[in-house]
Structure 1
Amino acid sequence: MRHTVTVGPDYELWVEERGDADAPPLLLIMGANYSGMAWPESFVERLTSRYRVIRYDHRDTGRSSRAFDVAPYTIADLAEDAVAVLDALDVDSAHVVGMSLGGVLVQLLLLDHPERLRSATVFATSALGGAAPESGELPGPDPRILSLWQRMGEQRDPADELAWRVEHWRMLNGDVLPFDPEEFRDLEQRLAEHSGTHVADTAHARAEVGGLDRAAELSAVTTPTLVIEAPADPVNPPPHAEHLEAVIAGSHRITVPGMGHALSSAVLEPLAEAILRHTAAVDRDS
Structure 2
Amino acid sequence: MEHEIKVAPGFRLWVEESGDPGGPPLLLVMGAGASGLTWPDSMMEALGRHHRLVRYDHRDVGRSTWAFDDNPYALTDLAADAVKILDALAIDRTHVVGMSMGGMLTQLLLLDHPDRLATATLIGTTPMDGGPVEAPGIDPALLAIWETIAEPRDRDAELDWRVRHWRILNGGELPFDPEEFRRREERIIAHAGRHDNPAAHARAGQEGLARAAELEAVTTPVLVIDSPADPIVGTAYARHLGTLLGNARLVTVPGLGHALSEAVGPQLAEVILKHTTTHNP
Q: Give CA-to-partner distance per residue, 1:219-256, whole Å, 9 cap, x none.
A: 00000000000000001122000000000111000000
CA distance in 1: counterparts of 2:210 and 2:82, whole angstroms? 20
Q: How does 1:59-138 map to 2 (within 5 A)?
A: 59-129=59-129, 133=132, 136-138=133-135
Question: Does the 8 A contact of 2:228 with 2:254 survive in 1?
Answer: yes
Secondary structure at the aligned position of 1:169 is classed as helix
CA distance in 2: counterparts of 1:239 and 1:125, whole angstroms? 11
Secondary structure at the aligned position of 2:276 is classed as helix
Q: CA deviation at 1:191?
A: 0.4
Question: Does the 8 A contact of 2:41 with 2:265 survive in 1?
Answer: no
For residue 9 of structure 2, what is the aligned residue in structure 1? 9
The TM-score, its normalising length taken from structure 2, stands at: 0.98
Structure 2 runs not aligned, ≥5 long: none
Q: How does 1:184-223 map to 2 (within 5 A)?
A: 184-223=181-220
Q: How does 1:199-278 map to 2 (within 5 A)?
A: 199-278=196-275
For residue 176 of structure 2, what is the aligned residue in structure 1? 179
RMSD (CA atoms): 1.1
The TM-score, its normalising length taken from structure 1, stands at: 0.96
Q: CA deviation at 1:266?
A: 2.7
Structure 1 runs not aligned, ≥5 long: none
Q: CA deviation at 1:42?
A: 2.0
- Matching residue's letter, 1:280: T
For residue 153 of structure 1, what is the aligned residue in structure 2? 150
Secondary structure at the aligned position of 1:122 is classed as strand
Q: CA deviation at 1:113?
A: 0.5
Q: CA deviation at 1:201?
A: 4.2
Q: Give CA-to-partner distance per residue, 1:161-192, whole Å, 9 cap, x none.
A: 11011000000000011111001000110100
CA distance in 1: counterparts of 2:134 and 2:68, whole angstroms? 32
CA distance in 2: counterparts of 1:191 and 1:20, whole angstroms? 24
| Percent identical | 56
Q: Give CA-to-partner distance per residue, 1:41-96, whole Å, 9 cap, x none.
A: 22111111000000011000011001101110000100000000000000001000
- Matching residue's letter, 2:189: A
CA distance in 1: counterparts of 2:249 and 2:40, whole angstroms? 25
Question: Does the 8 A contact of 1:7 with 1:84 survive in 2?
Answer: yes
For residue 37 of structure 1, what is the aligned residue in structure 2? 37
- Matching residue's letter, 1:159: D
Question: Does the 8 A contact of 1:227 with 1:251 survive in 2?
Answer: yes
Q: CA deviation at 1:204?
A: 0.3
Give the direction of change, closer, same or farther, for the CA distance of 1:221–1:20 in structure 2 (3 Å limit): same
Q: Give CA-to-partner distance per residue, 1:97-145, whole Å, 9 cap, x none.
A: 0000000000000000001100000011111127x64xx3433311110
Runs of 4+ in 1 over 2 A off after TM superposition: 136-140
Give the direction of change, closer, same or farther, for the CA distance of 1:201–1:190 in structure 2 (3 Å limit): farther
CA distance in 1: counterparts of 2:275 and 2:181, whole angstroms? 28
